[in-house]
Amino acid sequence: MQTLQTLDYVVLLVYFVLVSLYGYWIYNRKKNLEADSGDFFLAKGTLTWWAIGASLISSNISAEQMTGMSGSGFKLGLAISSYEWMAALTLIIVAVFFMPVYLKNKIYTMPQFLHERYNSRVAMIMAVFWLLLYIVVNLLSILYLGAIAVSGITGWSFELCVFLLAVASVFIALGGMEVVGYTSAIHVFFLVFSGVLGLYVTLNMVSVDAGMMKGLSILQGEMPQHFKLIFDKSNQNYIDLPGLSVLLGGMWIANLNYWGCNQYITQRALGASLPVARKGILFAAFLKMVTPLIIVIPGIAIFYLYQHNMIDTSLINITKDGATTADSNRTYPTLLLLLPKGIKGITVAAFAATVIASLAAKVNSISTIFTLDIYKKAFQPDASEAKVVSIGKWAIVISTVIGILLTLSLGNALMGEGKQGFQYIQEYTGFVSPGIFAMFLLGFFWKKTTSNAALFAMIGGFIFSVILKFLPDMMNLEFLYPIGFSFPINGVYEIPFLDRMAIVFALCVIGMIVISLVENARGVKPKGLEIDSSMFKTSTSFAVGALLIIGLLIAVYSAYY
């Protein structure tokens, strides 16, 4: 097993140069056009359905997904695929029910939705919060994990990798959402290509050159525990994926909030017509069905090769306090090093591409929220289109610089020494996502929902999450373990993360309903959105595609339940 060779470095550097030059060319081309904020932030009317779908996936599957999910495949097995497969079903729901509401009411940012549905106070509070969350949590984690992986494979310094990834993403982001969308389509091609190569190489190694299907058969036969989608309480990983909650519980809250109420994601489709947006989202759903094959299965194969000493175990093992353990975060870099000379460079470029696309999309979303929902509303409401675009570009550069500084100063403390970036993201966003989703859901479909009810969900949801995080251990609730309410982890009892999200969401919805009904009785008349049943009708082709995905999901969960 070898690190990158000269040919690999050439391929990698050529990729960086081409992507950077392309972004710079688009940036210069757009400088000569009339400035338009709708074009810069949303690429209104310019993205095709395949560009929208590819951009959704490329921006979603970045460093925390490639390293985190392949590592979870190593540790948990196929069960981690529920995040991907349930996301496919979630995307269908978002396309059918969420996008019509956004587009009908000309909603271009999530704070704008909160402003029009509730009031400016709710919108401004959430705009500031989203900025902090995107920079301190998402931008930091993507940049840190991406740089760690590229550095580990290439041998370049961590600091250099942080700089290269950040600079390449800025060039793309400065071209606006159109550049982000179309370059993402290229990234997805490389992502799928490298994933298929990784799948072939690892399964072929498992079968000792007897073929992929033989390798998959060996994995299923010798490691059945890694091919179980639904865990029971006896499984040591139940705390991460608590049984049927992945089908009926908190997984829905996490996915619907992420795919339906997240500026970083929804921005891809908000500049398109409803038919184009739906086609793009459906395309993304099909890609979601494929991603476990190119991320999770290779992770399982690496575990098999590691257990049978068929790879260099030093690539996985870490030594800390005199004990040697397997670090699942090293699964994906190990996978890349298994590939032949020349191909390594392509796959590293593909990985870097997803990181760059995700970073570009993230800073574009940061710029959009800051410019349209904070600067234009609080500082200069009469700003010209040219001024708005200029501020947006400065926001991209400044947020990237802040991200670099945070990554270099705090990244290792927050995600180093075997800590998983995916868990870091979930830990911090999971404390607020149930309340945010409750605000959006009731704001969409219940016209009686009031602004104070939304504030309750925003603040109360966070408080409920903190209480339920520590309540089981503080009150010695281990006696509730038999019914799955609490679960021991390192001697401390906790409510499984997904279950906690579901409980908090239910509390937020109940509280919002009560507050809204009380205020309605006092004469408060909340602002509703324009909604009618015809908005939710879909084309025949969309319905067929959606049913195909649902059928595939039923088949997969029936086979590996």
Q: What angle do CA 453, 457, 460 make, to 5 degrees?
A: 115
Domain assignment present for residue 87? The answer is: yes
Domain tally for the chain? 2
* Separation between Cα atoms, residue 27 and residue 29, nearest integer Å: 6
What the block records as the tokens of 220 is 């299923």
Would the pLDDT of 479 be above 60? no
Same domain for 282 and 393, yes or no, is yes
- pLDDT tens column, 435-477: 999 999 999 889 899 999 999 998 899 899 988 888 776 666 5
Mean pLDDT of the chain: 81
Tokens 């929208």 correspond to: 52
Residue 145 falls inside a structural domain: yes
Whether the per-residue pLDDT at 3 is higher than 70: the answer is no
Look at residue 51 and tell me whether its pLDDT is greater than 60. Answer: yes
User: Residue range 333-343: average pLDDT?
Assistant: 78
**472 close to 239: Cβ distance less than 8 angstroms:** no
Q: Is residue 440 part of a domain?
A: yes
Residue 406, domain extent: 6-429+531-560
Sign of CA pseudo-dihedral 220, 223, 228, 229: negative
pLDDT attached to residue 481:
55
Does residue 1 lie within any of the structural domains?
no
Out of 112-121, 222-231, 314-323, 528-537, pick the least confident: 314-323
At 158, the pLDDT band (50, 70, 90 cuts) reads confident
Query: What pLDDT is stored for residue 478 in this prediction?
Result: 57
Q: Are 17 and 110 within one domain?
A: yes
Both 417 and 460 in one domain: the answer is: no
Residue 44 tokens, joined: 């209104």
Contact 355, 55 (CB under 8 A): no
- Higher model confidence: residue 298 or residue 354? 298
- Co-location of 362 and 414 in the same domain: yes
> Could you tell me the CATH number of the domain that includes residue 369?
1.20.1730.10
SS3 317: strand
Place of tokens 């324009």: 530
128-137, 201-210, 255-264, 320-329: least confidently modelled range: 320-329
Asked if 413 and 503 sit in the same domain, the reply is no
Whether residues 83 and 198 fall in one domain: yes
pLDDT at 38 over 60: no
- The answer to whether residue 539 scores a pLDDT higher than 60 is yes
Banded model confidence at residue 109, pLDDT cuts 50, 70, 90: confident
Task: Specify if 20 maps to a domain.
Answer: yes
Task: Name, in order, each residue with C-beta under 8 angstroms of 236's C-beta and a sequence gap of 6 or more.
Answer: none
**pTM, full prediction:** 0.81
Long-range Cβ contacts of 22-29 (<8 Å, 24+ apart): 22/172, 22/179, 22/183, 23/168, 23/171, 23/172, 23/173, 23/174, 23/175, 23/179, 23/183, 24/171, 26/175, 26/176, 26/178, 26/179, 27/171, 27/174, 27/175, 27/179
What pLDDT does residue 452 have?
A: 94
Cα–Cα nearest to 179, from 42, 348, 344, 378 = 42
H or E segment at 319?
A: strand 317-320
Q: Is the pLDDT of residue 175 over 80?
A: no
Q: Are 499 and 531 in contact (CB under 8 A)?
A: no
Q: Are residues 457 and 356 in the same domain?
A: no
Q: Are residues 512 and 371 in the same domain?
A: no
Does residue 83 register a pLDDT over 80?
yes
Q: Percentages helix, strand, coil for the chain, rounded to the nearest 5?
A: 75, 0, 20
Domain membership of residue 186 (yes or no) is: yes
Is residue 368 located within the same domain as residue 490? Answer: no
What pLDDT was estimated at residue 304? Answer: 93
Stretch 36-50: mean pLDDT? 56
For 159, residues 6+ apart whose C-beta sits below 8 A from its C-beta are: 408
* 436 and 526 co-located in one domain: yes
Mean pLDDT of the region 142-163: 82
Three-state SS letters, 228-274? CCCCCCCCCCCCCCCCCHHHHCHHHHHHHHHHHCCHHHHCCCCCCCH
pLDDT attached to residue 549: 96
CA atoms of 549 and 297, how far apart (whole Å): 20
State yes or no: pLDDT of 275 exceeds 50.
yes
- For residue 252, give the nearest of 518, 244, 39 by alpha carbon: 244
Same-domain pairing of 139 and 233: yes
| Whole-number Å distance between alpha carbons of 85 and 475 | 36
Q: 30 pLDDT exceeds 70?
A: no
| Residue 328 and residue 442 in one domain | no
Whether 396 shows a pLDDT value over 90: the answer reads no
Between 407 and 492, name the one with better pLDDT.
407
pLDDT higher than threshold 50 for residue 34: no
